[in-house]
Copies of this chain bind each other. A is one copy, B any other.
């Protein structure tokens, strides 16, 4: 996952998930890996970028709001969100944004 996502022409959507983890793992890594693998198979999924120090940032890219809404209601996703709230994260924030401009690129 340590790659820059090859997203298509704008517009498309980004889900910016920012989090600070609790110190104990509580099975976080396994749940996260499973969830990413499932997200990648969803219709409308365009890519994912992730990095973590004390703060973790995961940006997933989606074709439209409909595909985000569908993934939001996936049963495994819902269960992971609950685990996230209760166990994994000290705090987090999820922002949904419409990518309108690609300003610069080097590859």
Quick one: which of B49, B72, B96, B107 contacts A100, CB cutoff 8 A?
B96
Q: Is the interface of A mostly helix, strand, loop or mixed?
A: strand
In chain B, what residue has the closest Cβ to A92? B106
A19 CA to B107 CA, complexed, in Å = 10
A105 CA to B7 CA, complexed, in Å = 26
A54→B2 contact, CB < 8 A: yes
Interface string of A78-107 (1 = CB under 8 A from B): 000100010001111111111111111111
Interface residues of A in 27-86 (CB under 8 A from B): 49-57, 59, 72, 81, 85
A59→B103 contact, CB < 8 A: no
A94 CA to B7 CA, complexed, in Å = 11
